[in-house]
Amino acid sequence: MNNKKSTADPDNSIKSQEGADSRRSFFKRFGLVGAAAAAGGAAIYSGYNYEETKPNRDMVKVLTADNKLVEVPRDQIKDVKVDVARMTKQGREGLAGHRWVMVIDLAKCRNARKCIQACQGAHHLRPYEYHINTLTMQESENTAPYYMPKPCQHCDNPPCVAVCPVDATFKRQDGIVLIDNERCIGCRFCVAACPYSARMFHWEEPLVVEGDKGKEYNIELNVPQKKGTVSKCLFSADRLREGKLPYCVSACPNGVYSFGDENQDSVTNGTTKETHRLSELLRDNGGYQLMPELGTKPRVYYLPPKNRLFEFKEESPIANEKV
C-alpha cells in the first residue's frame, strides 16, 4: 500500500506545524487511521483539518479503524485504486535480476503432506483443492513406488500463457507464471494447454469469505479467491517479495525442497537451510525435468527417487482428504 499522505487541500493547505497539530488532534479524537469505504468504491482517508471544516463542504461517511461512522469532506478522501494498480503492476513484472528455480528430491519424500497443507492454508484452498499435490508413482510392476510432489513447473516456454485470450496468465521477468483472477474469464483454455495438469478451476465460492472481506486482491497470492476462475502454484511470489522461501519449501520436514536463483547458481534447502550450487546438485544427482521433450522448459527440477520405500503404504495422513 502507498503510505504517502496527501497534502492537497484546496481550501486549507496542510503544510504548517499548526496544520500537523490539527491533524493529530483529529486522529486523537476519532481514531481515524485506516482504510474507509465511501461512495464509488474503496477509499483511504488521507488527513483532515477538523477545526477548519466548513459546513457547506461535500461530506461523505467513512468508517474509522474502530468501526465508528464519521463524516469527512469528500476532497480529503484518496482513492486507493492507484495503489492496487501499482501492486498489480509489481506483481506482473516480478523481481528484477532473479530467475527462480525449485529442486525436488524424490528420494526424500515420505508423503508427509506438510507442503500441501501449508500451500492450502496460504491460498485458502479446501483439502481437496491443490496447487501442489503428492502423487504416487510406479514405473513398472517390478519397481517400488515413490511419491512425487507436483507443483506448476513454471515453464520458461509456457503453453498455458500462449492460449489465454485475455492476457490473464503471464510469465514474469523472474520466470514465475502467474494468473490475474481479476482478468480471468474462466474459459479454461490454459487448463487444457498445460501438459502437467497444474491448474485448477474454482467451481465453488471462496472458502474464506468473512476473513477476506474488504481485502484488496493480491495477484501474488491469488487471494481473495474468485469463483469461476483458475488458479495454480505461484512459487509463493508473495513470500519471495519478502525474501522468504515458498510456503511448501519451508513446511517440509524431510528436506525434499530446495529453492533459489538460477542467476546465482544457488538453491537453499527449506528444511536444513543448506545452500548448494544448483549446477552441482543437478549434475551430481542426475537432476532432470518433467517431459523435457515438449520444449516447455520447466523451472522445476527433480532428483531421482533413490532408496525407495519397499514397504510402501499408500495412505493419506489427512483424515478428510479426498485422494
Residues that bind ligand SF4 (CB under 6 A): 152-155, 158-160, 163-164, 166, 168-169, 177, 179, 184-190, 194, 196, 198-199, 230, 232, 296
Taking the C-alpha atoms of residue 243 and residue 228, their distance in angstroms, rounded to an integer, is 32
Least distance to ligand SF4 from the beta carbon of 151, Å?
A: 8
Judged by CB, which is closer to ligand SF4: 145, or 186? 186
3-state secondary structure of 260: strand
As measured in angstroms, the least distance from the Cβ of 188 to ligand SF4 is 5
What phi-psi label fits residue 24: left (phi over 0), alpha (psi between -120 and 50 degrees) or beta? alpha
User: Would you say 80 or 160 has its CB closer to ligand SF4?
Assistant: 160
Backbone φ and ψ for 179, nearest 5 degrees, come out as: -130, 135
Note if the bond before 224 is cis, omega within 30 degrees: yes
Q: Which is nearer to ligand SF4, 60 or 164 (CB)?
A: 164
Q: Which candidate, 95, 269, 259, places its Cα nearest to that of 178?
A: 95
- Least Cα distance to 129 among 64, 49, 36, 223 occurs for 223
Nearer to ligand SF4, 62 or 230 (CB): 230
Q: Which of 169, 143, 181, 173 is nearest to 309 (CA)?
A: 143
Q: Which is nearer to ligand SF4, 150 or 276 (CB)?
A: 150
- Give the nearest distance from C-beta 235 to ligand SF4 in angstroms: 10
Cα angle at 232 between 133 and 139, to 5 degrees? 35
Least separation in angstroms between residue 236's CB and ligand SF4 is: 14
All 3 cell numbers of residue 223? Answer: 487471494
CB of 225 to ligand SF4, least distance (A): 13
Do the strands 266-269 and 275-277 form a parallel or antiparallel pair, or are they unpaired? antiparallel
Taking the complex as a whole, how short is the minimal distance between the CB of residue 23 and ligand SF4, in angstroms?
44
Nearer to ligand SF4, 171 or 276 (CB): 171
CB of 285 to ligand SF4, least distance (A): 22
* Spatial separation of the C-alpha atoms in residues 265 and 48, rounded to whole Å: 52
Beta carbon nearer to ligand SF4, 159 or 255: 159
Q: Which is nearer to ligand SF4, 70 or 194 (CB)?
A: 194
Distances (CA, A) of 32 to 46, 54, 70: 10, 19, 9
Q: Which helix (H) or strand (E) holds 278?
A: helix 278-285
Nearest-approach distance from CB 164 to ligand SF4, in angstroms: 3
Q: Closest by alpha carbon to 53, among 68, 69, 37, 71?
A: 71
